[in-house]
Chains A and B, each alone.
Chain A
Amino acid sequence: MRTGFQEELDRVEGLLQEEGALVLRSLRGAVNAVQENDHELSDEVIAFDDEVDRRYVQIEEGIQLLLARQTPVATDLRLVLAMLHINLHLERMADYCVTIAKLTKLAPEVDPNPRLLEGFEEMGSRAEEMIRVALDSFERRDLAGAESLVDLDELIDRANRRVVEQLLALGAEPELREYGLRMVLVSRALERIGDHAVDIGEQTAYLLTAEFREFTDASHPTPREA
């Protein structure tokens, strides 16, 4: 029943998953660029953002049409609204990847501190994992998976704190200070990517429970009960 409608929903969701895959590639590229201080790779990442933006627009249009033409209700409506929000979060993640790439290019040449690079790699891996979990739990409509993102975010936050500590201990020379400044922003960008992944998880939870709910927020540091 309503095969056209279902096909269209599936198509937009498919585009969303593709966008997610593109974001993952972008992230991997950005983190590698940081590791190897590879400016050409950074340029690629920056150019690649157009690809994500194109998906973003297509998904926006698709959602607009779904709302205008199919008048979705109940689960369908929640799905469309969830996709609308997830689309935004993915696009923001991709923008952060661009930010990281730009910062890589701007940062001065400095001898790499292996522990620092490990820290970034860890943050990058955590972020990748979170994106995967977020997209996967959305696809499989897995509430537990979505809620597990909060714990993963905790890990990325700790990695972020460790990286910041090391950056603060770099040294006083102007080059090092500039490097530290840029890298703090990179770290923050990675941490924000993790936050957006949690937001995607919240959208999955909304889809499944019809509740508008944040998993955690600043005034309630421990996760709320469902």
Chain B
Amino acid sequence: MKQIAFRGVLLLSLSVALVTLGTLLFTVFQDGWGQLDKTLITGVNSSDPHQAGARPAILATIEMGLLLLAFVVPIGVGTAIYLEEYANKERWYNRLLEINIMNLAAVPSIVYGILGLAFLVRGLGLGRVLLAGAMILTLLVLPTVVIASREALRAVPNSIRQGAYALGATRWQVVWRQVLPAALPGIATGSILALSRAIGETAPLIMIGALTYIAFDPTLLGPFTALPVQIYDWISQSDQDYTLRAAGGIIVLLGILLVLNSVAIFVRNRYQKRW
């Protein structure tokens, strides 16, 4: 009897999640499907909701994504390598570092927004530019990448390291030639998932001044917007037609996320057979 009850509870939880998700998706697609036209993707924002396009936002989101990868992978993986392969885990400062990184992963994203505003936009004088946005997002997902990379590095069996050391490899050679290649799938998966999360972030970008009405393509050191911000803007308009347009934007955003996550799953599956 308990078995059946337990199974019932599990199914109930599953259906709650599925029903909620299903409803959300259904409403979005119901509203947004009709909005998917060329203008949405190739046009710029306009006062006429039917003509409003999100090209600057899409481009900015993609550019920030690429910059994000370029920043977060070296820094995140490097940190993970230091903590896993080089640091003496007994030492207090390494333990402190480890705890801090764990904590940072749980900090609300708006805090990063405030941080960015204070230090990057004003402090460094960058201004409200795309580069600043990319840097903020980097900081935001950095802890996640570090943690995911550490897991990937830890998953490499220690016997591999021992074997490499025994042949006369230096620590660097062991890491670069054996551990890192073996951990690459896990690191790649973690990075792509971090990227997916960052792409959907709105609050920090608004904090550092992503504008909502941009009619030109973004440049690195110029004013910018991002797809989530654009969507937020359209929804806040009183005109109902803008809301429908926003639904279209949401579908585009979901599309981008779907592609990224599929790549992550593909990479993970392809290399899983190794062990």
- A contacts B: CB pair < 8 Å: no
**A contact residues vs B (CB 8 Å cutoff):** none
